Amino acid sequence: MKGLIFDLDGTLLDSMPAWNQLLDNMLLKRGITPPPDLLDRTKTLGLENATSMVLQEFGLTDDPAEVYQMFQNEMEYLYCNTIPLKPGVQEFLDATKGHIPMAVATATSRPLVKKVLEHHHLTEYFHSITTVAEAGIGKHDPKVFLIAAEKLQLPVEECIVFEDSLTAIRSANNAGFYTVAIHEASNLHEQEALQNEANQYIKDFAEVILR
């Protein structure tokens, strides 16, 4: 393999519990019980689309732009103060840097991606960043991964996609990428399917075997 494409939240960062808490708190403050699958249904959409979906689904009249900015502000603070890299990520990226070009393909907004990469001193590790907002469609479609591969100037079959989302693994598989699923404690119900559908399934990055 000649190129690596990484999801951010839940793959490089142990940030899914924070996103889940933000979504739940927004609804709980309005007297709404959050459905257990809300994070699963929103995490690959991109924040703008996820915000709109949640407001519409629950009949909320909040200004979408204000809710979006609230999420941005709260996650920026958490990214730069409390959210760590997932186990083995730093060591894996250190070992890979300079040998294989790497890219980020994420549902997180570009300003937040840049902030968190700067915070962890990882900006120079990645050749490019591609977001679902820029692709114009969520990760149920492989477009964000295809754009990332194009930026690496590599064909699909020479790239590995690292993801924690079953939806994203499926779309990357369907596009012909080699896929590595990373264990994520916030979606344990998906783990068996991820083990079956990804080319590799890992508990942490110490287990990665590049081929």
Rounded distance, CA 44 to CA 133, Å? 11
Greatest distance between any 2 Cα atoms in the chain: 51
Provide the pLDDT confidence category of residue 210 given band limits of 50, 70 and 90. low
What amino acid occupies position 29? K
pLDDT of residue 85: 96
- In this prediction, residues 42-64 reach a mean pLDDT of 82
Judged against a pLDDT cut of 60, whether residue 211 lies above it is answered with no
Q: Which residue has the higher pLDDT, 114 or 51?
A: 114
What amino acid occupies position 15? S
C-beta atoms surrounding 202 within 10 Å: 16
Residues forming a β-bridge with 105: 130
Given a contact cutoff of 8 angstroms between Cβ atoms, the answer to whether 12 and 89 are in contact is yes
- In this prediction, residues 10-33 reach a mean pLDDT of 88
Best CA proximity match to 164, nearest among 119, 210, 205, 124: 205
What amino acid occupies position 103? A
Rounded distance, CA 18 to CA 89, Å? 19
Helix (H, G, I), strand (E, B) or coil at 130: strand
C-beta atoms surrounding 154 within 10 Å: 18
Given a contact cutoff of 8 angstroms between Cβ atoms, the answer to whether 102 and 210 are in contact is no
pLDDT of residue 209: 65
Given a contact cutoff of 8 angstroms between Cβ atoms, the answer to whether 187 and 65 are in contact is no
Chain segment 60-85, per-residue pLDDT in tens = 888 888 888 888 898 899 999 999 99
